Chains A and B, each alone.
Chain A
Amino acid sequence: MNRQQRLEAEFAAQETKARAMGGAEKLARRKAAGMLNARERLQRLCDPGSFIESGLFATSTSNPADRDSTPCDGKVVGFGRVNGREAAVLANDFTVLGASSGATNGRKIAHMKRVATQRGLPMVFLGESSGARMPDHMGSRGMGMLLGNDGTQYQRMRETPWASATLGLSYGSSSWYAVLSEFNVMRKGAVLAVSSPLLASLAIKQDVDPQEMGGWRVHAEVTGFADLIVDTDEEAIDALKVFLSYLPSHHREAPPVAAVPAGSGEGMRDILGLMPESRTQVYDVRKLVRTIVDRDSFFELKARFGKVGVTGLARLGGRTVGIVANNPLSRGGAMDADACEKLTSFIVLCDSFNIPLVLLVDTPGFVIGTEAERQRAPGKIMNMMNALALTTVPKLSVILRKSYGQAYLNMGGGRNSDEVAAWPTAEVSFMDPTFAVKVVHGIDPGLPGFDKEFAEMDRASSVWDFASVYAAQAVIRPQETRDYLIRMLEVHRLRLSDGVGRHLMRAWPTSF
């Protein structure tokens, strides 16, 4: 063998060892369970041939005995192109010490985040990890050496979008990065929690069911930490790509522009038919959203959490917009604390990444009563209001039907939007006329005089009175909504700053 051949042979041997992950047996078990391994996940995520690895030959260093059995120190990281755009990517390799956090892989993650932030690349986390590595972290020396030495580790200033997939058991860092991200897709069967059920059982001295503690239903319906639920690894990774397709690579650029699919706006002629004639009947606002936006472009987030508020990314005329809508189908559109939090976090996402907001309004107000107050409704309502007030991307609101009370302001009424448009079906007032008749005149429904006073209150809520004081800048025919919005997005484009907002909420908490 000449020198070149010797080097090649040595390189090949080292590379084979480094790419072995946790060994054939563990990898086969995963495959049988229908789970991709870390490298297969990266392959699915990155454009073919585009992944360039960082730290292929890194291993655990805390215990010399681990060196040969910890390829990549359990976290495979590098740079890959996602739909043609450069991104920093991280795949936890659960087959190597449960992808636990150690000294070397901590430095790998820090490097990825540093490059992503400084060079303006989205960051993708493929989460599945057991938490801090034991016994490395034990004792005061372990703690002192391993934790807290990077003061920016969990700092979030939204310089670039972070997208996360929770793909298996995720404790510690995988959970932290999932909730710090703008988007977290969760695979059914995965668990997202602070700590493992074993540790939780030891701490509280009772059995803990992992799915009850941190399964998909909990995070889809109770915590809102899952933006999307899917059945497989493949679907989760594809969802990350779809999410990123709406976003700019960093906060100093406008989102990418896509071609407008054929057939967009096709259903606009009949859009009014999607709303029932009776004001007491409900409908699913998402059908209207899908009709208005570019064909198949509505990507709903947190569909099962705070359902009375609908949030999702979409495109109008090829440009990314954030849709915020009330959904009468749930609670008649009366906004609750969960919906306020969901809308607040979505407003922060859009404003941080230069995505204009479109608000579709049909709400009788906020849910009131004992339970609502116990859920800290006033605080949630004002957080949302503050977020809307701090927004510097264009905000367009369309009042479809009801807009009442403080919720009128929270949904962009008055100067809380750049433009307020209303359908002829809009009704705007401080409270539902039925209740107002009781409050003002003391008359219950069915009693003499009610109908007359109701008719008077109801007439005074009409869109024409609203437009007469220029509280709506336009009354639009329902079928014109899509064209109106596309034109107004053009009018309000942030020309003076190349489509970039001021990001006053960049340090807003990442969850609630």
Chain B
Amino acid sequence: MASIKIKTEVTGSVWKIEARAGQRLAPGATIMILESMKMEIPVIAEDGGTLVELHVAEGESVNEGQVVATLTG
């Protein structure tokens, strides 16, 4: 089981978390939505997998490239 680190593409803040630990995510599923540049930008599980851990909470600031979740493939 490969561990997949999900990184943000943008600097912003966590607006809403949509998935929970242990959840099985389909490819393309939304893990959380960030607020950045006045836009709601989803963080996506591109290849799908099981969500092992969330590393951020709602309201928290995140930097571009920060690991926000870990999945297993």
Contact surface of A with B, Cβ cutoff 8 Å = 280-282, 304, 307, 328-332, 334, 364, 369, 371, 432, 434
Contact = CB atoms under 8 A, between A and B. Distances in A.
A282 B30 CA distance: 12
Contact of B39 (A304, A307, A364): A364
A331 B41 contact: yes
B64 A282 contact: no
A432 B37 CA distance: 9
Contacts of A364: 37, 39
Interface of B: 9-11, 36-42, 44, 46, 64
A332 B37 contact: yes
A277 to B, nearest CB: 13
A366 B69 CA distance: 27
Nearest to A433: B38
B38 A282 contact: no
24 contacts: A280-B38, A280-B39, A280-B40, A281-B40, A282-B39, A282-B41, A282-B42, A304-B46, A307-B9, A328-B39, A329-B42, A329-B44, A330-B9, A331-B9, A331-B10, A332-B36, A332-B37, A332-B41, A334-B10, A364-B37, A364-B39, A369-B11, A432-B37, A432-B38
Given A332-B37, A332-B41, 14 more contacts: A281-B39, A281-B40, A282-B39, A304-B46, A328-B39, A330-B9, A331-B9, A331-B41, A332-B39, A364-B39, A369-B11, A371-B64, A432-B37, A434-B38
Main secondary structure of the interface of A (DSSP, over half): loop
B64 A332 contact: no
A281 B16 CA distance: 13
Contacts of A330: 9
A332 B10 contact: yes
A434 B36 CA distance: 13
B2 to A, nearest CB: 11
B37 to A, nearest CB: 6
A335 B3 CA distance: 29
A307 B28 CA distance: 13
A334 B64 CA distance: 13
A369 B46 CA distance: 26
- Candidate in A282, A304, A331 with the most chain B CB atoms within 10 angstroms: A331
A443 B37 CA distance: 17
Contacts of A434: 38
Nearest to B39: A332
B40 A334 contact: no
Contacts of B9: 307, 330-331
| Pairs of residues from A and B, 8 with the lowest C-beta to C-beta distance, nearest first | A332-B39, A331-B9, A434-B38, A281-B40, A332-B41, A280-B39, A331-B10, A332-B37
Nearest to B11: A369
Contacts of A328: 39
A50 to B, nearest CB: 38
A57 B4 CA distance: 49
Contacts of A304: 46
Contacts of B39: 280-282, 328, 332, 364
B9 to A, nearest CB: 5
Contacts of A281: 39-40
A471 B11 CA distance: 34
A494 B46 CA distance: 40
A280 B10 CA distance: 15
Contacts of B42: 282, 329
Nearest to B65: A371
Nearest to A402: B39
Contacts of A307: 9
Contacts of A332: 10, 36-37, 39, 41
Contacts of A369: 11
Contacts of B10: 331-332, 334
A405 to B, nearest CB: 13
B42 to A, nearest CB: 7
Contacts of B44: 329
A307 B42 CA distance: 13
A282 B40 contact: yes
Contacts of B37: 332, 334, 364, 432
